[in-house]
């Protein structure tokens, strides 16, 4: 193919899929606010809206450089600030001259690369927002998000996608079960532990269901996330490779479909009725789980992975409740549990032959424990680093400006307390706790 | 053009437009729940969400093979299960070796073909959900949807797009007025008849308007459908043919615009005020009607087709009410009536010269009754087969697990009854029937 | 590059980005209805829905011809009606034979050009709807929109993008800060003045805040507009130029992010709390301001432009309130103020070297006052023409069918008065004025 043509079609693919991933911000905003109470709707919308602005600035200022700058196995060290290092993209391979070598394999212009990577960074940051909602201070969330976009996410990104030590170890994460979802998940877990549960959630040792105020909104948000995932996974080729992108679209969709069915059945069996929230989270669980292996496994395997993910998410929601970890929207069950599961799936189910990436085969396809070992090393090291870095950040914020709103504000709602707004002016809304 | 380049650009076009069609699921969910009552919102969202998972699995397991497998004029017989027949796509023409010859004309990789066809199958299945809402059992809807995706839709698909007898007869349906919309419509009609009307709809022979609970949501949903139709119709080229896709985008949009205007005017004249529901359904009517002929007619003709469709939908809503057929969202008036109308329009208005497909000319462009006859054969045969197959399916479900919820559950709302969820926890919602 | 390939990729880019711009109609509908009261939700949705149908027909019937037809410096004169002039697109340059020479630089088929330009026309028309909402007669809005699409917008479009006198003067507006946003803004201002404020807004000289009824909806709408802007600005290349489209995506996003941050901070400082409405309008302000210069300035400059826009919009909202100009959704502050600001930014910050368009340098990059002068000439001439043309149109409508609903209807809500619909049937909604 004419190399000029290849640059054009690859750039179109990268930008259009990046736009779809950007659109996932709307999905997260809708899901999280729909699963929470009306009195906190403005606050959740605000957090989910501003977090992409924060990510855009933080990733530009420092994140990109830490993630993709040439450097050590741990962090990037060159071209750190304002994405302003030398770079002659779209040149690739030998022809590439610049300081962002780790991403010189994709032959698109520099700002197209940047935009694609930015929307992934934004996704990691927004995952946290749901888990900590209905009690976190707005300003503290904003500051934590800067830390995510400028430091926590880029460091892990460097390890896996920036030529760092996990990449060198032979660990594979096609579209980010680890880099995006488990990074968001571990950060959220630290926040959930340090914030404590919402008032009334675990009174007297009971687990109280606090129903979401708009399940239709949550459903529309999940549709948007599913839609956006067709950018997230097929776009992670960062090239319009026809075989790969068609294949990945189908593995992605099949895992989502399977997750929906098994989560629905599991909630029907375990809870007596098919709870809509479980159906929606089953979809997201399947999508998160297939994110790492989507290009390395067959369609049949994607069905199996999604089916397991759908059951896992239901069990995980119940487990976190019993552990008295209050995650209002199920973000830990979706992104953390299935981010880890999906990463491991690469080590179990990958096949070299699928779309041409030489991952080596997973355990169940005769590859032994080599690939699985690399995947487990990533799971553990990411858990340790991200949980620690996030906990330190949360603790600093707690010790200085505080991370939790006052009891009065929490009862009244964060919309009035943090923003002076009423989400549903004119509607009669009752307290539901 | 370099054949490798053609595969790349065609694959991008097919996948991106397929994603837009996937997104229509959100549109259907929003339209249908917006036009129904708050007490059934969770149930409608659940149905519209799970139906695409059902379609994804059903079409993978059997639907694709029945539709595109080489076989008789009636059904596919080779490569039936799990889309696993021999296939060397993206090879086309003489170079194609495989069992899915009917779709070997489009030069994209196998899974890209599959994904595109899957989202169309999902659309047909979701059309039914609106017509049967507010009284159908969740489990019965799920099972019926499997029948649609695995059997009813693929059979008609084989007749028209899978090289079956209607294709051989010279019948043309560019993007699915028949294959998608009338198949969905006839299946819905069978369901509406066998379910009976909602409690209170036709008491004492009166027709009672049961207003939708969120007309803003219905409007946003219609916007999404309109947006998705730019994937549905222009994508049905299954190739990035620049003349055709630009032309089809404009005929599609013009028909929608005309349908909006005439439906608004018609409701203004007939009902005294411009009812928003009619405006929205006028848009959808124009889109459904232009779906079959969009690539075969000029822009001026698309304006005429849309204008007629907008009036038809208003009259059809009134007619179904008088027939005491209870269709809460107007799905029959939109998809069935205008699916048939659009199919006939090909026979009336097609012109060979438009985008290069040799359809022959329609009646009004000197082609006589040849093309019109083939279109009418399709209308009638599809009506008979789909209505019968759907009725048998509904009857089996009715005789076994039942298709309608109890009177108590219907009055209370299906959200609590079927799912144990409240769509709007905290809001004061009054009964509106 | 093979010229046939170039036509294909450019057409795909133009159509896909046009679809994204179309989708902005949903965003406007959601923002405007969310910021207004529940009792007017159906009316606002109806206006925002039908306005694109009106634009589609008006631009087809006359608008396209006036805008792009060969003619004088003031209006197009050839191929005026139904876009039916001679045209051999996708031929460009010397090879082009037709009457729409001004847009013959882009090598895509005719209907692809038309569709792209149509969605921009639709945006200009829809901007007006928010500013005049909650008191305007439905039929008058429809008629005004026809005037916008058929005359006001195309005339300015001709001046700037149709080879008219401003183009010849060396004025640059890459994606429409002037052509789309300020045209919409000046038209809206004339409407706001002639309609007068809503009942109760400025009673006894006080400024009364009238809170929106669904701020979540407004947030989702703003996300959709941000998403759509990735079609609006990068698509305005009308060619898949890889360097330009990646660059424009990033300048666009960076300005939005900066606008969000500064508007949030400004409202925090000036109003005591970070008002969500200001955050959302800060995003839109940054987007409007970067629309003209997005391809002519660097990423750092886009950060500065967005940051200023975010403060400007907060101050402008306060200013219009003090002037007792009642703009329920902030459309004047977003589109008019920042449309003008963005146009001027080209004259201040443009650099020839950025993406290859020979704009000349702006004042701050050594270009002196030449470019700035042309930009100011556009600001002033567009203000005079559009305000005058819009005011005459509004005055004619006021003198004939009237433009404002009755006091009783305004108090009761336009949903019942204009449409006979209740947006939220079953919900308990209180009057909020």
B133-146 confidence digits (pLDDT tens): 999 999 999 999 99
Q: Which of B4, B42, B108 sits opposite A215 (nearest CB)?
A: B42
Q: Sign of the C-alpha dihedral, residues B226, B229, B234, B235?
A: positive
Tens digit of pLDDT for each residue in C129-174? 999 999 999 999 999 999 999 999 999 999 999 999 999 999 999 9
* C216 domain-assigned: yes
Q: Per the domain annotation, does B290 fall within a domain?
A: yes
Q: Name the closest residue on chain A to residue B113, using Cα atoms.
A: A246
Whether B240 and C418 lie within 8 Å, measured CB to CB: no
Residue C74 pLDDT: 98
Q: What is the DSSP letter of C334?
A: I
Nearest to A57 among C215, C261, C264 (CB): C261
**Which residues 13-52 of chain A have a CB within 8 Å of chain B?**
13, 16, 20, 37-38
Q: Does A300 touch chain B (CB under 8 A)?
A: yes
pLDDT of res. B353: 86
Q: Which residues of B touch C4 (CB under 8 A)?
A: 1
How far B131 CA lies from chain A's nearest CA (Å)? Answer: 19
Interface test with B, best of C2, C7, C8, C21 (most B CBs within 10 A): C8
Do the domain assignments include residue B30? yes
The string of DSSP codes covering B30-97 is HHHHHHS-GGGHHHHHHHHHHHHHHHHHHIIIIIHHHHHSSB-SSSB-SS-GGG-S-B-TT--GGG--
C299 and chain A in contact, CB less than 8 A: yes
Q: Region B170-178: what's the mean pLDDT?
A: 98
Is residue B204 very low, low, confident or very high in pLDDT (cuts 50, 70, 90)? confident
In chain C, positions 366-385, which contact chain B (CB-CB < 8 Å)?
Answer: none
Task: Count how many domains chain B has.
Answer: 1
Minimum-distance CB partner of B56 among A9, A211, A254: A254
Q: Which residue of C has its CA nearest to A15?
A: C246
Inside any domain, residue B162? yes
Interface of C with B in 55-84 (CB under 8 A): 56-57, 60, 82-83
Q: pTM of the prediction? A: 0.98
Tell me: pLDDT of C218 over 90: yes
C337-374 residue pLDDT tens: 999 999 999 999 999 988 778 899 999 999 999 999 99
Q: How close C425 comes to chain B (CA, Å)?
A: 5
Q: What is the pLDDT of residue C344?
A: 98
C224 touching A (Cβ < 8 Å): yes
pLDDT beneath 50, residues of chain A: none
Mean pLDDT, range B74-91, rounded to an integer: 97
**C309 CA to chain A: closest CA distance, Å?**
15
Enumerate the residues of chain C whose CB falls inside 8 A of the CB of residue B428. 427-428
- In chain A, what residues touch C250 (CB-CB under 8 Å)? 111, 114-115
Whether residues A264 and B50 touch (CB distance < 8 A) is answered with: yes
CB proximity C358 to B under 8 Å: no
C-beta atoms of B274 and C52 within 8 A? no
CB C262 within 8 A of CB A31: no
Q: Which of C8, C16, C42 sits opposite B276 (nearest CB)?
A: C42
Check if B224 contacts C (Cβ < 8 Å). yes
- Put simply, whether A253 touches B (Cβ < 8 Å) is yes
Flag whether C37 is in a domain.
Answer: yes
In chain A, residues with a C-beta closer than 8 Å to the C-beta of B111 are 246-247, 249-250, 299
Q: What is the 3-state secondary structure (H, E, C) of chain A?
A: CCHHHHHHHHHHHHHHHHHHHHHHHHHHHHHHHHHCCHHHHHHHHHHHHHHHHHHHHHHHHHHHHHHHCCECCCCECCCCHHHCCCECCCCCHHHCCECCHHHCCCCCCHHHHHHHHHHHHHHHHHHHHHHCCCCECHHHHHHHHHHHHHHHHHHHHHHHHCCCHHHHHCCCCCCCHHHHHHHHHHHHHHHHHHHCCCCCCCHHHCCCCCCCCCHHHHHHHHHHHHHHHHHHCHHHHCCCCHHHHHHHHHHHHHHHHHHHHHHHHHHHHHHCCCCHHHHHHHHHHHHHHHHCCCCCCCHHHHHHHHHHHHHHHHHHHHHHHHCCCCCCCCHHHHHHHHHHHHHHHHHHHCCCCCCCCCCCCCHHHCCCCHHHHHHHHHHHHHHHHHHHHHHHHHHHHHHHCCCECCHHHHHHCHHHHHHCCCCCCCECECCCC
Structural domain boundaries, residue B113:
3-419
Q: What percent of chain B has pLDDT over 90?
A: 96
Chain C stretch 183-212, residues whose beta carbon is closer than 8 A to a beta carbon of chain A: 211-212
pLDDT digits (tens, 9 = 90+) for C278-305: 999 999 999 999 999 999 999 999 999 9
Interface contact B234, partner C, CB < 8 A:
yes
Nearest to B276 among C114, C214, C421 (CB): C421
Are B26 and A249 in contact (CB < 8 Å)? no
Q: How confident is the model at residue B1 (pLDDT cuts 50, 70, 90)?
A: confident
Residues of C in contact with B283 (CB under 8 A): 49, 53
Does the distance separating the beta carbons of B30 and A220 come in below 8 Å?
yes
Identify any residues that bridge with B404 across adjacent strands, giving them in sequence order: B136
- Tokens 């059902």, residue located: B54
The subunits that touch chain C, with at least 3 C-beta pairs less than 8 Å apart, are: A, B
Task: Collect all residues of chain A within an 8 Å Cβ-Cβ radius of residue C223.
Answer: 23, 25-26, 29, 49
Chain A contact for C245 (CB, 8 A cutoff):
yes
Does the pLDDT of residue C433 top 60, yes or no? no
Chain C from 109 to 148: CB within 8 A of any B CB: 109-115, 118, 138
- Rounded to the nearest 10 degrees, the angle between the axes of helix C110-131 and helix C3-35 is 10
- Closest partner residue to C215 among A4, A52, A421, by Cβ? A421
Does residue B429 sit at the C interface (CB-CB below 8 Å)? yes
Where residue C341 sits, what CATH number does that domain have? Answer: 1.10.3430.10
Q: Which of A12, A82, A108 minimises the CB distance to C12?
A: A12
Burial of A151 (0-12, 13-18, 19+ CB in 10 A): middle
Of A8, A42, A112, the CB nearest to C215: A42
pLDDT, tens only, B369-399 = 999 999 999 999 999 999 999 999 999 999 9
Q: Which residues of C touch A48 (CB under 8 A)?
A: 219
Whether residue C433 lies inside any domain: the answer is no
Q: pLDDT digits over B214-230, tens only?
A: 999 999 999 999 999 99
- Whether B171 is in a domain gets the answer yes
Q: Provide the pLDDT for residue C241.
A: 96
Mean per-residue pLDDT over chain C, rounded: 97
Interchain contact, A11 vs C276, CB within 8 Å: no
- Residue C427 located in a structural domain: no
Q: What is the pLDDT of residue B338?
A: 98
């Amino acid at each position: 193919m004419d190399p000029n043509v290849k640059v054009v079609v690859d750039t179109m693919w990268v930008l259009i899929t990046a736009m779809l991933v950007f659109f996932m911000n709307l999905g997260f905003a809708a899901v999280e606010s729909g699963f929470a109470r009306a009195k906190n709707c403005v606050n959740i919308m605000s957090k989910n809206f501003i977090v992409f602005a924060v990510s855009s600035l933080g990733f530009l200022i420092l994140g990109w450089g830490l993630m993709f700058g040439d450097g050590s196995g741990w962090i990037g060290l060159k071209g750190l600030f304002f994405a302003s290092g030398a770079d002659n993209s779209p040149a690739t391979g030998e022809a590439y001259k610049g300081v962002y070598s780790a991403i010189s394999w994709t032959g698109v212009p520099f700002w197209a690369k940047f935009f694609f990577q930015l929307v992934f960074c934004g996704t990691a940051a927004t995952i946290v927002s749901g888990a900590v909602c209905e009690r976190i201070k707005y300003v503290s969330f904003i500051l934590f998000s800067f830390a995510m976009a400028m430091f926590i996410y880029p460091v892990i990104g460097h390890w896996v996608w920036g030529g760092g030590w996990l990449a060198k170890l032979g660990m594979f994460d096609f579209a980010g079960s680890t880099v995006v979802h488990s990074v968001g998940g571990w950060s959220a877990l630290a926040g959930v532990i340090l914030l404590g549960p919402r008032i009334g959630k675990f009174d007297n040792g009971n687990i109280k269901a606090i129903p979401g105020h708009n399940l239709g909104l949550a459903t529309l948000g999940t549709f948007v996330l599913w839609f956006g995932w067709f950018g997230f996974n097929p776009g992670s080729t960062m090239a319009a490779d026809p075989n790969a992108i068609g294949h990945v679209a189908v593995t992605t969709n099949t895992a989502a479909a399977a997750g929906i069915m098994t989560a629905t059945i599991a909630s029907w069996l375990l809870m007596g009725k098919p709870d809509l929230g479980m159906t929606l989270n089953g979809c997201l669980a399947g999508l998160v789980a297939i994110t790492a292996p989507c290009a390395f496994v067959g369609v049949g395997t994607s069905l199996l992975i999604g089916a397991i993910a759908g059951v896992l998410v239901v069990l995980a929601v119940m487990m976190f409740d019993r552990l008295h970890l209050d995650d209002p929207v199920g973000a830990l069950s979706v992104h953390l549990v299935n981010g880890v599961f999906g990463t491991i799936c690469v080590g179990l189910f990958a096949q070299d032959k699928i779309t041409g990436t030489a991952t080596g085969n997973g355990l169940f396809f005769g590859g032994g424990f080599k690939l699985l070992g690399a995947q487990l090393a990533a799971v553990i090291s990411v858990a340790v680093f991200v949980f620690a870095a996030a906990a330190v950040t949360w603790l600093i914020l707690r010790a200085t400006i505080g991370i939790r709103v006052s009891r009065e504000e929490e009862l009244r709602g964060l919309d009035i307390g943090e923003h002076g707004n009423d989400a549903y002016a004119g509607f009669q809304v009752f307290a539901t706790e």
